[in-house]
Amino acid sequence: MRRVVYALSLVLIFTIPWEGALQSGLGTIATVMGIVVTVLWVALIAMTGQMRRPITFLYVTCIFVFWIGLTAFWSADPVNSMSAVLRWIESLVFTFTLWDLYRTRTEVLMGLQAYVLGSYVAIAGAFANYLGSHAFYTHYERFSPGNTNPDGYGFTVALGVPIACYLAAAPETSRRARAINLAYLPVGFVGIALSGTRTASVAAAVGLLFGLALLTRLKLSTRVAVVALLASTMLVVLPIVQPLKSFQRLGTTGTDLSQGNLNGRTAQWAQGFVALSDHPFFGVGTDQYRSVNTLDKVAHNSYLSVMVELGLVGFAMFASILWIAFRYALIQPKWDRRFWVTLLTVWAIGASTLSYEHRKTTWLVLTLCVAAGSIVREPAPPAREEPDTVASVPVGVLGRSG
């Protein structure tokens, strides 16, 4: 039973990068998969009477979500805020599920691999919209899978860059998996170019720096081969993406930063800080940032969004969660530590221009980081059904390269 739930959780992670591409009456495909996994996970706990012991990270997250629920009582739109509370509860259950199921290094690596493969699907969806001339934003002809916002899609692809680099260098990775993960770098470059997301390009560059550092772990001949292969691939890809208006938009990053405009974000951030000064401790209520700015937009900044909606009390809890995850990154072995710190940095960059605090992507990164750190701190788990026998079901790419 545990093996089945674990395998389905990998499918859930696989759907997260492209969840907005398919919608149903119950929500996105990731939401539907989340419901399936949650029901089976609860059934598993009921049948076995066992659940992995929660840690401080989970307790603080529970308190944080409880506080979010309280803010609905002083919200200007309680009905809308309660809908947001339900989304937060969904993320909380998702966090507990990951914590309980991902207990070994192999399980964590498989989860990361599922995310990379899901990002491939997201990029394919954006490319299909490009071929069909179905731009999400017509001004710069920015593309994304389905009706997903290009900013969120680009961020999703950027997160996959350090993950792919890490998996490509992991000793457990097979040759086929290594090729799949290395190929993600040029494919991801195309994906970000299609999105025209400037923050994603900066975040991906940080992830790529980690990948370059990883080359020092390889033999000289392997290093040369990898660099030559990627360089030749980029020489082929670059002429293809250069004419894209979305790609040309990436070149305006420096200008936007120097002008201090950030595509109009700074103006609405200023309005957010005014609202924060009016409601400093308790906030205006979850999912109410739109009500405090004249543009009727979300914050496009996870940190400010939490501060304005949940007050300094809520922000202190959120910051504590991030700090705990960062501490778990630091206790890991050298290259694992560098990977998780890089991944958290990439997330932090993306979160500075996106309201991503409640998204599954955020809690996937944070929870897997904590789970990986806990593997280092905790003794080996007691004997149980090994998930390795189904680890190949969704991805089939990890294993000793022999």
User: Average pLDDT by consecutive 10-residue portion of the chain (402 residues)?
Assistant: 94 93 79 94 94 96 98 94 94 97 96 98 93 81 87 94 95 91 92 88 92 81 79 77 69 56 75 91 93 85 95 98 98 96 96 92 98 83 46 46 40
Structural domain count of the chain? 3
pLDDT score, position 38: 95
pLDDT score, position 382: 54
Closest CA to 111 of 370, 347, 309: 370
d(CA 204, CA 378): 32
Pick from 259, 278, 300: which residue ends a domain?
A: 259
Same domain, 74 and 86: yes
Answer yes or no: is 33 within a domain: yes
Straight-line distance from the first to the last Cα atom of the chain, in angstroms, rounded to the nearest whole number: 31
d(CA 202, CA 78): 37
Pick from 229, 259, 289: which residue ends a domain?
A: 259
d(CA 183, CA 232): 12
Pick from 259, 278, 293: which residue ends a domain?
A: 259
User: Under 8 Å CB-to-CB from 21, ≥6 apart: which residues?
Assistant: 29, 121, 122, 125, 145, 146, 147, 148
Same domain, 194 and 282: no
Answer yes or no: is 94 within a domain: yes
Tokens 């103006």: give the residue: 267
Same domain, 231 and 338: no
Helix (H, G, I), strand (E, B) or coil at 394: coil
Instruction: Please check whether residue 226 is in contact with residue 218, taking contact to mean a CB–CB distance below 8 angstroms.
Output: yes
Task: Determine how many CB atoms are found less than 10 A away from the CB of residue 25.
Answer: 5
HSE at residue 311, side-chain half, CA atoms within 13 A, is 17
The strand pair at 23-24 and 27-28 is best described as antiparallel
Answer yes or no: is 106 within a domain: no
Answer yes or no: is 158 within a domain: yes
User: Under 8 Å CB-to-CB from 40, ≥6 apart: which residues?
Assistant: 1, 4, 5, 8
Same domain, 147 and 250: yes
In 352-398, alpha helices (H): 360-377
Q: Which amino acid is at 374?
A: S
Answer yes or no: is 264 within a domain: no
- Phi/psi zone of residue 264: left (φ > 0), alpha (ψ -120 to 50 degrees), beta? left
Tokens 């598993």: give the residue: 44
Q: Output the pTM of the full model.
A: 0.89
pLDDT score, position 392: 40
Chain segment 18-57, per-residue pLDDT in tens: 987 777 777 788 889 999 999 999 999 999 999 999 999 9
User: Under 8 Å CB-to-CB from 26, ≥6 apart: which residues?
Assistant: 32, 35
pLDDT score, position 393: 40
Tokens 């504590």: give the residue: 320
Same domain, 18 and 86: no
Owning domain of residue 91: 52-101+269-392
Same domain, 229 and 142: yes
Same domain, 319 and 245: no
Instruction: Please check whether residue 60 is in contact with residue 92, taking contact to mean a CB–CB distance below 8 angstroms.
Output: no
Same domain, 208 and 179: yes
Same domain, 335 and 387: yes
Task: Determine how many CB atoms are found less than 10 A away from the CB of residue 51.
Answer: 13
Answer yes or no: is 398 within a domain: no
Chain segment 87-100, per-residue pLDDT in tens: 999 999 999 999 99
Same domain, 174 and 249: yes
Answer yes or no: is 397 within a domain: no
Same domain, 253 and 125: yes
- Phi/psi zone of residue 141: left (φ > 0), alpha (ψ -120 to 50 degrees), beta? left
Instruction: Please check whether residue 230 is in contact with residue 189, taking contact to mean a CB–CB distance below 8 angstroms.
Output: no
Answer yes or no: is 371 within a domain: yes
Question: What Rg, from alpha-carbon coordinates, does the chain have?
Answer: 21
Helix (H, G, I), strand (E, B) or coil at 138: coil
Same domain, 212 and 250: yes
